[in-house]
Amino acid sequence: MTITVDIDLGYEFTVKAGMKDVFDVLSHVPTSASFFPKVDKLTEIAKDTYRWEMEKVGTAQVNIQTVYASKYVTDRKKGTVVWTPVKGEGNALVGGHWKLKEGKAGTEIEFKVAGSVDVPLPGLMKALVGPVVSSEFEKLVDKYIANLIKKFGGEVE
């Protein structure tokens, strides 16, 4: 039996780095992924399409590994990086976007990610496991954003 946990997160922040530098990092998936914690393996499975394999979490007896693929489309003029889920790859569907805008003191960034993760556990476990999976994903994304802010010279106060 499998339970599905939905994820939906959004962030807005401004960094000190210029838009070109920020776009160069975020539009190059392997570079951007290098700032995301607990990525076990990132594989380009087709042009601009990457499979993400996260590290296993849990105990030796009970653990889960999130695996998914997304197709990336970048547009430097618009300042966007958009990714859409690829069905049939792994146990999750993940999509989202980066939207960049030149600000007065740096680059204004909007980050949105949404998706679902299938966890092979009985449905009765959803009330317990759902919040844990959501919380863990949120912690990883928080760390990812913090790593990027550091890379881009800090957040504009």
**Structural domain spans, the chain:** 3-151
What integer pLDDT is reported at residue 124 of this predicted model?
75
Q: Which residue has the tokens 């844990």?
A: 132
Question: Which burial class, exposed, middle or buried, applies to 62 when counting CB atoms under 10 A from its CB (0-12, 13-18, 19+)?
Answer: exposed
Tell me the average confidence (pLDDT) per consecutive run of 10 residues in the chain, 157 residues long: 91 97 98 97 98 84 84 98 97 97 96 93 76 88 97 94
Q: Which CATH superfamily is domain 3-151 in?
A: START domain (3.30.530.20)
DSSP H helices in the chain: 19-27, 29-33, 126-151
pLDDT digits 0-9 by tens, 80-101? 999 999 999 999 999 999 999 9
pTM here is: 0.92
What integer pLDDT is reported at residue 121 of this predicted model?
78
Query: Shortest CA distance to 33 belongs to which of 147, 155, 156?
Result: 147
Question: Which burial class, exposed, middle or buried, applies to 112 when counting CB atoms under 10 A from its CB (0-12, 13-18, 19+)?
Answer: middle
